[in-house]
A and B are shown apart, each in its own frame.
Chain A
Amino acid sequence: MTIGLLRRASLLGAGLAAALSGAAAAGEYNLTVDRVPVDTGTFTRIGIGYNGATPGPVLRFKEGEDVTINVTNNLSEPTSIHWHGLILPFEQDGVPGISYDGIAPGETFTYRFPITQSGTYWFHSHSGFQEPDGAYGAIVIEPKKREPFRYDREYVVQLTDAHPHSGDRIMRNLKMMPDYYNRQQRTLFDFLKDSKEMGLDAALSERGAWGDMRMMPTDIEDLQGFTPLINGKSSAQNWTGLFTPGERVRLRFINSSAMTYFDIRIPGLKMTVVQADGNNVLPVPVDEFRIAVAETYDVLIQPTEDKAYSVFAESMGRTSSVRGTLATAEGMKGDVPDLRKPPLLTMADMGMAHEGMDHGSMNMSGSTHTMPDGSTMKGMDHSTMNMPGGTHTMPDGSTMKGMDHSTMNMPGGTHAMPDGSTMKGMDHSTMNMGSSDPFYAPGSGLMPAAANGGKFLSYNDLRTQKPLYPHREATREIELRLTGNMERYMWSINGIKYADAEPIRLQYGERVRFKFVNETMMTHPMHLHGMWSILDTGKGKWNPIKHVVSVAPGTTVFMETEVDAPGQWAFHCHLSYHADSGMFRKVIVEGGPEGKAAALPVKTEG
């Protein structure tokens, strides 16, 4: 039997097993978890992979099939596999201590679950730092029905951030010195340059403000020094996908990084985003998009020229980049753009401006804006961009200053808060059309802009093709403040880290509205297992359906969940070292059909 063979399997066995799995009953897959070499060209180390390689194989499932996946642990430590974004029975979700006990060394664990969805997903270890060490692979699920778009060929484009240090060592170094890996700190020379540009007093008071908080405007990637890879290949190793001019190509982007957000573009080509996190969205043509850790985006491109195009991914903090190539023949190379200037966080990212302002529902038709004093701005309709005489009057009759509505035909638009404060640097000039993005704090240093001045994808552009659930009012709201102490490298939710936290209890059948308030200076990709996360972009039943919701610093973002999956689930920031140091919760869904026991006794791993 295949499993018996696999028990003795090593690399050779893995290859044999892979060959056998083709012959096995439909829907049966085999994976081995192995120590594997990682070679980025700049460094080599031993990491963890599947079937002898990192990234592991691309698992191809069909919607409607029942899969059986035999996972054999060839490591000398426990392991686990979590099927990221898949809706499945909680015992199959693969989180040690929550779904099951994990997979002991030498053991083969068999996962069995139905495939009830389609799209692009991925899988990874949920044990220790095996995922940063390389334990990930891609999942492609073919839909039952025809998709609302066509393509001639497709590629998985899996981004990762290989680091020369092991995950354990990275965590230890971060705990010892939180800026251990930050090599983009501001130096004496930056100070001299700033003094020259803004004057000594301004430069001093600016440094003083940051020094008062003991925070750094360069804290965007707290883990630098990695080599980004596309499908396991560095820029020099140049992953290449072939096309014939005129063909429509589907690229399935997956960000399997431990810690790195990427801004992705293909110079010379427009991309049309057709899926986000595995779900069809109304197509959005873009020049560039940001992919949060653990997200997936499917885009269509149609290169017509017989030439090489670079698929270029720059890390959000601009510390590193990787290119792959789309070409008409192997060996061709396109131009590799330079890294853009690293961004700097602003006081807006520190939540210094407009606490309590509801950024999640901004720019939305008929949305309600909550002001710092608790009053609301009702019925402000930014989506129609049709506000002649454009002064936004607050409930108390004051105005909002500094809002630039210049291209919105709203001359003279000034906005002031009822408490007398102003909204500085808020630029709506390219609203719903380009660089402005309501999912960033107004004045945020992280606000993305397309390199070619074109369209940069925003969450605000995402609109589902087909709602998965009938739209209804949420039955209750749960506030989750994303909290942390950068200096101690402690991350938490509502100020409490996982080890000390009570689980979040949900009732089967309810619709919960989660309110994320990011009180930290970092962006957190929040991931709820087992159930869909309906991101509130103010589109009602057309809100996009996701499994990761990225929350930028200084912002409030809402998502809703139909609580339709009994059991115990993980809910966490997908930045590995944030999740591990406490930005993590167990979610218990109580009740449900068939008396599925939610409070299943589970021993913790190790």
Chain B
Amino acid sequence: MFTRYAALSALSAFLLASPASAEQLFWGIQAEQLEWRSGEGSEAFAWDADAFVGTDELKVVWRSEAEYATGPNSFETLENQLRLQVPVSTFFDAVAGVRYDSPDEGPHRTYGVLGLHGLAKQWFEVDADLYLSEYPSARFEVEYEGLITNRVTFTPSIELDVPLADDEATSRAAFGPKLEVGGRLSYDLLDRAIAPYVGVHWERTLGESGRLVRAEGEDDDVVSLVVGFRLMF
């Protein structure tokens, strides 16, 4: 079982080891989503961003995903992950790490993370993660960058989050998945550093989880228009 301590000690071992090796250290920050979501009666600010430092052999990635609702002024979701990435094939990295969820409403949760991250055939960018705790879940994310021109990109994305056990405190029931589908049309304004976009984002909570969400008085089906920008530097 991955604990926060294990991941942190792996991280510190890596950071201590790196100066001794001749490996070059690279870093980067990438926000695939940094946007304003406007749906039926809900307004939120959301992001999905990665920052990494590491070498060809090992990367430390901080991944952050959140949705901050402006009505109640609270984080509906707030996830932070510290992930170690090691190449396991030409196009895929194995991932191990910890995830800490700290939304304003509901309990905070800690998970161990095991996953695969990489580029599948036909240029699909894939993340497949298993989140381990007493409330385990699995998540599968796919994104595709479709070039309309060399500067205008349409990026469809799908995210499927499947709870593997009941966690009523977070309105999730075993095998009641949450589906997020998005489509974003961006323009590379400055290099690849800043690309503003517009798009749609659709969230749907299915199965037993949907019932729990509705019981909370929330919508199990939300369509939002989004405006934001991608960042990379």
Q: A: which residues have CB within 8 A of B?
A: 171-173, 175-177, 180, 183-189, 208, 211-212, 214, 485, 487-488, 490, 497, 499, 580, 604
Task: Type the 1/0 row for B8-31, where 1 means its CB is closer than 8 Å to any CB of A.
Answer: 000000000000011110111010
CA distance A445 to B121 in the complex (A): 23
Q: Are B22 and A604 in contact (CB under 8 A)?
A: yes
Would you call A211 and B149 a contact (CB within 8 A)? no
- In the bound complex, how far is the Cα of B22 from the Cα of A490, in angstroms? 15
Q: Mark B116-142, 1 if CB is under 8 A from A, else 0.
A: 000101110000000000000000000
Closest to B123 in A: A211
**B121 to A, closest residue via Cβ:** A212
Instruction: Give the contacting residue for A183; candidates B24, B26, B150; CB below 8 A.
Output: B150
Q: Which residues of B contact A187 (CB under 8 A)?
A: 147-150
Residues in A whose Cβ lies below 8 Å from that of B26:
171-172, 175-176
- Known A187-B149, A188-B149; 18 more pairs at CB < 8 Å: A171-B26, A172-B27, A172-B28, A175-B26, A176-B232, A183-B150, A184-B150, A187-B147, A187-B148, A188-B146, A188-B147, A189-B149, A212-B121, A214-B91, A490-B56, A497-B56, A499-B21, A604-B22
Contact between B91 and A211, CB atoms less than 8 A apart: no
Quick one: closest A residue to B52, CB to CB? A176
Given contacts A176-B232, A177-B232, contact A214 B148 (CB under 8 A): no
Residues of chain B within 8 A of A212, CB atoms compared: 121-122
Q: Which residues of A contact B56 (CB under 8 A)?
A: 488, 490, 497
Whether B192 sits at the interface, judged by CB under 8 Å, is yes
Contacts of B123 in A (CB 8 A): 211, 214
B87 touches A488 (CB 8 A): yes
> Which 10 pairs across A and B sit closest by C-beta, in order of nearness?
A211-B122, A176-B28, A187-B147, A175-B26, A183-B150, A188-B148, A499-B22, A212-B121, A187-B149, A172-B26
B73 within 8 A of partner (CB): no
Q: Which of A171, A183, A208, A487 contacts B119 (CB 8 A)?
A: A487
Chain B nearest CB, measured from A261 CB (Å)? 21
In the complex, A187→B149 CA distance in Å? Answer: 5
Determine the chain B residues whose CB is within 8 A of the CB of A183 once the complex forms.
150-151
The distance in angstroms between the C-alpha atoms of A487 and B121, with both chains bound, is: 12
B193 CB, nearest partner CB in chain A, Å? 9
CB <8 Å contact, B148 and A180? no
Q: How far is the CB of A220 from chain B (nearest CB, A)?
A: 15
A180 to B150, CA, bound (A): 11
A176 to B121 alpha-carbon distance, docked (Å) = 19
Contact A185 B122 (CB under 8 A): no
Closest to B90 in A: A485
**Max chain A Cβ within 10 angstroms of own Cβ: one of B21, B121, B150:** B150
- Can you offer 14 A-B residue contacts whose CB atoms are under 8 A? A175-B28, A176-B28, A177-B192, A177-B232, A183-B151, A187-B148, A188-B147, A188-B149, A189-B149, A211-B122, A214-B119, A214-B121, A488-B90, A499-B22
Q: Which residues of A contact B151 (CB under 8 A)?
A: 183
Near A by CB (< 8 A), chain B positions 25-79 give 26-28, 30, 56
A509 vs chain B, min Cβ distance (A): 32
Return A519 CB to nearest CB of chain B, in Å.
Answer: 12
Q: How far is the CA of A187 from the CA of B21 in the complex (A)?
A: 41
Candidates B27, B87, B147, B192; contact of A180 at CB < 8 Å: B192
Q: Which residues of B contact A186 (CB under 8 A)?
A: 147
Bound: A211/B123 CA distance, A: 6
User: Which residue in B87, B122, B147, B149 is a CB contact (below 8 Å) of A208?
Assistant: B122
Closest to A490 in B: B56
| Shortest Cβ distance from B151 into A: residue | A183
Question: Which positions in B face A, CB cutoff 8 Å?
Answer: 21-24, 26-28, 30, 56, 87, 90-91, 119, 121-123, 146-151, 192, 232
Residues on A with beta carbons closer than 8 Å to the beta carbon of B23: 499
How far is it, in angstroms, between the C-alpha of A185 and the C-alpha of B87 when the chains are bound?
26
Nearest-CB distance from A217 to chain B (Å)? 13
A198 to B218, CA, bound (A): 51
B19 to chain A, nearest CB (A): 11
Min distance, Cβ A487 to any Cβ of chain B, angstroms: 6
Report whether B150 and A185 are in contact in the complex, using a CB–CB cutoff of 8 Å. yes
Provide the bound-state CA to CA distance between A489 and B3, in Å.
32
Contacts of B150 in A (CB 8 A): 183-185, 187
Return the chain A residue nearest B29 by Cβ. Answer: A176
Q: Could you tell me the distance between the alpha carbons of A173 and B29 in the complex, rounded to whole angstroms?
A: 10
Which residue of chain B has its CB nearest to the CB of A208?
B122
- Smallest CB–CB gap between B157 and chain A, Å? 17
Closest CB-CB distance, A77 to chain B, in whole Å? 15
Task: Tell me which residues across on chain A come within 8 A of B232, comparing CB atoms.
Answer: 176-177
- With the chains together, A187 CA to B148 CA distance in Å? 5
- CA A288 to CA B150, docked complex, whole Å: 30
| Whole-angstrom CA separation of A604 from B146 in the bound complex | 44
On whether the beta carbons of A189 and B148 are closer than 8 Å, the reply is yes
CA distance A180 to B232 in the complex (A): 10
CA distance A490 to B90 in the complex (A): 10
Select the residue from B24, B27, B28, B148 with max chain A CB neighbours within 10 A.
Answer: B24
CB distance A185 to B147 under 8 Å?
yes
- Shortest Cβ distance from A189 into chain B, in angstroms? 7
CB distance from A606 to the nearest CB of B (A): 10
Rounded to whole Å, the gap between the CB of B230 and the closest CB of chain A is: 12
Q: How far is the CB of B16 from chain A (nearest CB, A)?
A: 19
Closest chain B CB from A211 CB (angstroms): 4
With the chains together, A187 CA to B150 CA distance in Å? Answer: 7
Closest to A169 in B: B233
| Min CB gap A169→B, angstroms | 9
In the complex, which residues of chain B have a beta carbon less than 8 angstroms from the beta carbon of A487?
90-91, 119
Taking the closest CB of chain B, its distance from the CB of A164, in whole angstroms, is: 9
Instruction: Give the CA-CA distance A185 to B123 in the complex, in Å.
Output: 13
Cα distance, A133 to B146, chains bound together (Å): 33
Query: Separation in Å of the B187 CB from the closest CB of chain A?
Result: 13
CB B54 to nearest CB in A, in angstroms, measures: 10
In the assembly, what is the distance between CA of A327 and CA of B136, in Å? 76
**Bound Cα distance from A171 to B25, whole angstroms:** 11
Centre residue among A173, A177, A184 by max chain B CB count within 10 A: A173
Q: Chain B residues near A175 (CB, 8 Å)?
A: 26, 28
Q: Are A176 and B147 in contact (CB under 8 A)?
A: no
Across-interface contacts of A580 in B (CB, < 8 A) = 24
Q: List B contacts of A184 (CB < 8 A).
A: 150
Give A176 to B24 CA distance when docked, in angstroms: 13
CA distance A387 to B95 in the complex (A): 61
Shortest beta-carbon distance, B147 to chain A, in Å? Answer: 4
A186 nearest in chain B by CB position:
B147
In the assembled complex, how far is the CB of residue A280 from the closest CB belonging to chain B, in whole angstroms?
Answer: 41
Residues of chain A with a CB closer than 8 A to B87's CB:
488
Shortest CB–CB separation between residue B41 and chain A, in angstroms? 35
Known: A184-B150, A499-B22. A176 touches B30 (CB 8 A): yes
B170 to chain A, nearest CB (A): 34
Complex Cα distance A208/B122, Å?
7
Point out the residues of chain B lying under 8 angstroms from A189, CB to CB: 148-149
Q: In the complex, how many angstroms separate the beta carbon of A30 from the nearest chain B beta carbon?
A: 33
Q: Please give, as numbers and ranges, the residues of chain A lying within 8 Å of B30 by CB-CB distance.
A: 176
Which single residue of chain B is at the shortest CB-CB distance from A489?
A: B56
Complex CA gap A172/B232 in Å reads: 11
Bound complex: CA A488 to CA B149 (Å): 24
Q: Quick one: which of B146, B148, B151, B192 has the most chain A CB within 10 A?
A: B192
**Residues of chain B with a CB closer than 8 A to A499's CB:** 21-23
- Bound Cα distance from A186 to B30, whole angstroms: 23
- Cβ contacts under 8 Å, B121 to chain A: 211-212, 214
Q: Name which residue of chain A comes closest to B147, CB basis.
A: A187
Considering the complex, give the chain A residue whose CB is closest to the CB of B153: A187
